[in-house]
Amino acid sequence: MIRIGGFLIGIGFTVVVLWSFAVGAYNFATEEKVGAAEYEFHKKPKDVSFEHDGAFGKWDTAQLQRGYQVYKEVCAACHSLKFVAFRDLADLGYNEDEVKALAAEWTVPGIDQDTGEAITRPGTPVDYFPSPYPNDIAAAAGNNNAIPPDLSLMTKARANGTAYVYSLLTGYGEPSEELKAKYPDFSTPPGLSFNEYFPNLNLAMAQPIVIDDQVTYADGTAATVDQMSKDVSAFLAWTAEPTLIERKQSGWPVLGFLLFATILAFFAKKQIWSAAKPKKAE
């Protein structure tokens, strides 16, 4: 009974799915293939390397400090960083007083302790980075209807994220001749910018890092567009996972111990099983 029922059910599913296949194959064969510019000309992120890459990577704190400066002077105009608190900046190599001073440079929402009225006040280390907009509607209204995403987790929220952010920042330009020849209808609507590292090629964010020396670095590093883009990408890798280096460093002793224990376990197993080794029949 089970086998007859199973046979019928099996044949039933097969017929139905092959019917889907036949219709799909017919459509596939007869329909005209429509290519898409964003499918063909979207590029994978550039190859770029950072101090914190690899199993032995470490934060380049000077670079993170520069990246913080780029975020503060460029990105923060539109993008929030809501999962990061000022106290976290201590990771970047600042001491307690420096963190307090950095926090105080920001204005955060507060409450007047005497009247209870909503006010703004200078930030303290326990505060989180403030949002540049009071709400999403204000954010969308000021940006061509596209809400600038929060950047805290950006490098983890995209495939190969740190390289993606760097590529996007340095990837603005004009559509290539090849693209224009193949897709004459392709255009970049007003208010959007062409960027071949963005999935649909037209990005609502105008080029944020435009010219060299847009930021004046405190440590005297030459602030080229490439350098600033790289620095802020490294900074965002840190905001996405401040525990990255702690994680990799604690991994080594764990793996070392496990390797040792597993080798011991291997020889223990060999030793124990030698008692049960098949003895050749005489």
Nearer to other proteins (CB atom), residue 11 or residue 210? 11
Give the x-and-dash track for 70-89 against other proteins (CB under 8 A).
-------------x----x-
Structure tokens at 175: 């559509």
Q: Using CA atoms, how far apart are residues 238 and 234, in angstroms rounded to an integer?
A: 6
Nearest C-alpha neighbor of 49 from the set 63, 37, 66, 28: 63
Give the x-and-dash track for 130-149 against other proteins (CB under 8 A).
-------------------x
Give the nearest distance from C-beta 244 to other proteins in angstroms: 9
Pair 188, 41: CB distance under 8 Å = no
- Residue 102, classed as helix, strand or coil, is helix
Kindly indicate which of the ranges 4-12, 110-118, 178-186, 210-218 contains the residues binding other proteins, using the contact rule CB under 8 A: 4-12
Give the nearest distance from C-beta 177 to other proteins in angstroms: 28
Site for other proteins contains 36 (CB under 8 A): no
Burial (CB count <10 Å: 0-12, 13-18, 19+), residue 193: middle
Site for other proteins contains 19 (CB under 8 A): yes
Q: Using CA atoms, how far apart are residues 256 and 181, in angstroms rounded to an integer?
A: 57
Nearest C-alpha neighbor of 204 from the set 149, 157, 273: 149
Distances (CA, A) of 87 to 97, 105, 205, 246: 11, 13, 29, 17
Of positions 23, 101, 119, 138, contacts other proteins by CB under 8 A = 23
Structure tokens at 250: 């604690």
Give the x-and-dash track for 194-233 against other proteins (CB under 8 A).
-----x----------------------------------
Of positions 137, 138, 222, 255, contacts other proteins by CB under 8 A = 255
In the DSSP assignment, the letter for residue 267 is: H
Binding positions for other proteins, rule: CB under 8 A: 2-3, 6-7, 9-11, 13-14, 16-21, 23-25, 28, 55, 83, 88, 149-150, 152-153, 156-159, 161, 199, 240-243, 246-248, 250-251, 254-255, 258-259, 261-262, 265-266, 268-269, 272-273, 276, 278-281
